[in-house]
Structure 1
């Protein structure tokens, strides 16, 4: 409706591929999901939008001397490398790092044409079959914290201003959400979380690294394993429950029935139902109680010191 004094307008459709629209979607992910899960959603949405084959994030240690991959989305059929670079020296990406520390995006349109000074970086990119790479730094409070980016593996791509703008806006949002003081979402405080070994969860082309102490419990789900995390999310990992039984350290994890394992430090309560004699475990941040089968009760009580 329109007249001379005012007008109303139907909702506008977002412009396809617009950097600001992608940032809007990123903001919604960060508002609706735990931070780590939201980062995965941002990468999974942005990768196809930019016609990339991979979308990724790596984080630095507090002295900017090493970095590790933490999140990765890959197009179907594209190899994932998120598990490869853990505590890697920054010297490996020195040519890239000199611009990232100054807040500049680095657009590599053709990996094979990089200058001699980028030889170590080029070697790593070629190992990953990269043809083009876009890297954008993630800052918070004036400090470089991480880097997010895109790779193409099928064909070289000349990155557009729209690609860079969208990634920069997402980097700003991720920086605020992951490293800012947002109580109950992400990391509290302003210091990076100390490095700990990561376990990688895989599902539908997405790979997410989590620390062992973030895993509350695991339950078998046919050929998959459902994993409850400390941020409130539940991830269906593509590996079978039996695989996880061999992966998890017995010092901190305890099997409680045929299809469930719990992290002992996250056990909030062990309850015995008087009427039925059934034993149940209550995990922190998990609403549902998990049953404890008879063969595992004594071992669980001993591990809990009761």
Structure 2
């Protein structure tokens, strides 16, 4: 009814306040992704009582800040965090951010339209912990679906792309206490290294990153990146050649990586399709 009575942005604010009150949340919010999915911004926020707002601090923030959560949003899955302190180690980056915001429990659902992810809607509690129910998650899903239909029409999507078409997408890498921003095009490939990932760059350097390969699969643009092995993702634009002389051992070489990487049988078909061979 809010979406029928008000313009989309006002309706979202009204709905967040209504649902936040009903479920006993201390903060309700909506994030929107940039078209390249590498950054996001907090567009709507409702807070109860003394809970501090964070809408001004989360503008054009890197998606890597919430890479663990983003992975589930890309799959269209709700994430119910009953206790922020008990998140797995792979969620360390977003756990630190949530703790900075004073969150104890968080409920997140994706906002989609025509099977495309555009944003996230969520509830926080800052006063006490809360066990989120399946009914609350389902209600938020229904709300997110209606918002996706109302806000992310073709006209709106075109406006968003025009607004950001001149922006340079950046992925942030951290090593030895230094944070470095790189463009996806400068990444030659990413390989699994136990609980870490090796990020190989076009200048020949390698940065050991704390995010798992599955997180990188969600972060990197699918238009140019693809898997060649369960432990490796490569940039099609950085491929120098594919060695298929040994039928049992295909290998791929990147322009800036000294060693060749193996291609598993299960990914050969994808390799042929992406490289046109």
TM over 0.5: yes
Conserved? CA contact 1:136–1:149, under 8 Å: yes
Counterpart residue number, 2:69: 96
1:220-248: CA deviations, max 9, x gaps?
xxxxxxxxxxxxxxxxxxxxxxxxxxxxx
Counterpart residue number, 1:149: 122
1:52-96: CA deviations, max 9, x gaps?
000000000001111000000000211100110111111110110
Alpha-carbon distance, 1:152 to partner: 0.2
The structure 2 residue matched to 1:191, chosen from 158, 169, 175, is 158
Counterpart residue number, 1:117: 90
> Following the alignment from structure 2 to structure 1, what is the Cα–Cα distance between the partners of residues 49 and 73?
29
CA pair 190-87 structure 1, distance change in 2 beyond 3 A: closer
CA pair 138-192 structure 1, distance change in 2 beyond 3 A: farther
The structure 1 residue matched to 2:31, chosen from 43, 58, 62, is 58
Counterpart residue number, 1:44: 17
1:99-154: CA deviations, max 9, x gaps?
10010000000000111111110000000000000000000111100100100000
Cα RMSD after superposing both structures: 1.4
Alpha-carbon distance, 1:192 to partner: 5.6
Counterpart residue number, 2:108: 135
Conserved? CA contact 1:56–1:71, under 8 Å: yes
CA pair 195-36 structure 1, distance change in 2 beyond 3 A: farther
Bigger helix share: 2
Conserved? CA contact 1:66–1:87, under 8 Å: yes
**How many residue pairs were aligned?**
163
Conserved? CA contact 1:62–1:192, under 8 Å: no
Unaligned runs of 5+ in 2: 166-277
Residue 168 in 1 paired to residue 141 in 2? yes
SS of aligned partner of 2:149:
helix
In the superposition, the TM-score normalised over structure 2's length comes to 0.57
> Following the alignment from structure 2 to structure 1, what is the Cα–Cα distance between the partners of residues 122 and 159?
20
In the superposition, the TM-score normalised over structure 1's length comes to 0.52
SS of aligned partner of 1:135:
strand
CA pair 68-189 structure 1, distance change in 2 beyond 3 A: closer
Alpha-carbon distance, 1:195 to partner: 4.8
